[in-house]
Amino acid sequence: MSKMTLRTEGDRFVVVTRRFAAPPKAVYRAQTEPKLIQKWLLGPDGWRMRVCICEARPGGRLHYEWENNKGGSFSITGEFIELVPFSRIVHVERMHLPETTPDNHVETRFDADGAGSLLTLRMTLPDAKARAAMLSTNLEHGMEASYVRLETLNTGGEQS
Amino acid sequence: MPNLDAAFSALADPTRRAILARLALGEATVMEIAAPFEMTQPAVSRHLKVLEGAGLIARRIEGTKRPCRLDTEAIEEIDRWLGMLRQALAQNYDRLDGVLAGIEPRKRKGKR
């Protein structure tokens, strides 16, 4: 099944698209309602989202925190910049590993696609150093990472 | 291990990407590579040097020529990196499919 596409746009962006059977409204809700977010934005098996604050309004903050059974934890904080209900979200976020990574902008679009929807995620490509770090981190973790890992990579971008 | 930093900055230039696209068709000499570009051979050589430094191409010596070819190991490493991303996202989105299937319309709070 090839529902998802991932491509680089120039050397600055990564664009991901994914089709869902559910309409844009449901996909949007799943990305903005904490009770729903906590069900899927989990990372590798064994990780839990112990903090999930998502104030989905302009200027609202987001704060996600994950932990696993081995004492590991990390978090993401950010702010929402623009929200067009059920169609577009722009936010900025940073990762705490615990060292804080530079801010990163992410645009998420939700478009109707037949009875379902097309999700388009456009994020800044982190610099190569961060990508290399991500690659080795993921390999260590058996590459079973998730969106969470992408965020890591995404926010790790501007480190020298 | 090839330097990803150098590789990605080498790829940032459209001419160098075009050169790689040409080399994807097979090995080529500097003259062959320069032909489609409005560029001098020294200019092309500079691009080739960047690509070589980034580990994206390899060159061999054949008499007075130094034909270039793609260094597939470096290319594969970048592919692997993007592949990792793909897998990571796909896993979470597959999980999201399940979450979406379970969303009840009644959970909306009368705001349509």
From residue A97, give the alpha-carbon distance in Å to each of A18, A45, A54, A136. 28, 19, 20, 15
Let me know if residue B112 belongs to a domain. no
Give residue-wise pLDDT tens across range B12-36.
888 998 898 888 888 899 988 988 8
Residue B45: its pLDDT value, please?
92
Give the tens place of pLDDT for each residue, B34-59: 888 888 889 999 999 999 888 889 88
B112–chain A nearest CA distance, Å: 10
Mind listing the pLDDT tens digit for each residue in A51-85? Answer: 999 999 999 999 999 888 888 888 889 999 999 99
Cis status, amide bond into A126, omega within 30 of 0: no
Q: Do A147 and B89 touch (CB under 8 A)?
A: yes
pLDDT bucket at B104, cuts 50 / 70 / 90 = low
The reported pLDDT for the residue numbered A135 is: 56
pLDDT of the residue at B102: 84
What is the reported pLDDT for A51? 95
On whether residue B29 sits in a domain, the answer given is: yes
Whether B105 is in a domain gets the answer no
Q: Is residue B14 part of a domain?
A: yes
- Cβ within 8 Å, pair A6-B11: no
Q: To 5 degrees, how large is the angle CA A60–CA B88–CA A142?
A: 125
Q: Which structural domain, as residue segments, surrounds residue B53?
A: 4-100
Number of structural domains (chain B) is 1
Is A39 in Cβ contact with B85 (below 8 Å)?
A: no
**Mutate which of A39, A110, A148 to disrupt the B interface (most B C-beta within 10 Å)?**
A39
Residue predicted with more confidence, A143 or A128: A128
- Across residues A75-104, what is the average pLDDT? 87
Please count the residue pairs, one from chain A and one from chain B, whose beta carbons lie less than 8 angstroms apart. 101
Tell me how far apart the alpha carbons of residues A44 and B10 are, in angstroms, rounded to a whole number: 33
Average pLDDT, chain A: 78
pLDDT beyond 80 at A146: no
| A63, A41 Cβ separation under 8 angstroms | no
Chain B interface includes A141 (CB < 8 A): no
Asked whether residue B94 is assigned to any structural domain, the reply reads yes
> For residue B59, is it within any domain?
yes
Q: Picking from A86-95, A103-112, A121-130, A144-153, which range would have the lowest pLDDT averaged per residue?
A: A144-153
Residue B107 lies in a domain: no
Q: Does residue B90 lie in a domain region?
A: yes
Domains (ranges, CATH) in chain A?
4-155 (3.30.530.20)
CATH number of the domain within which B14 lies: 1.10.10.10
CB contact under 8 A, A143 and B88: yes
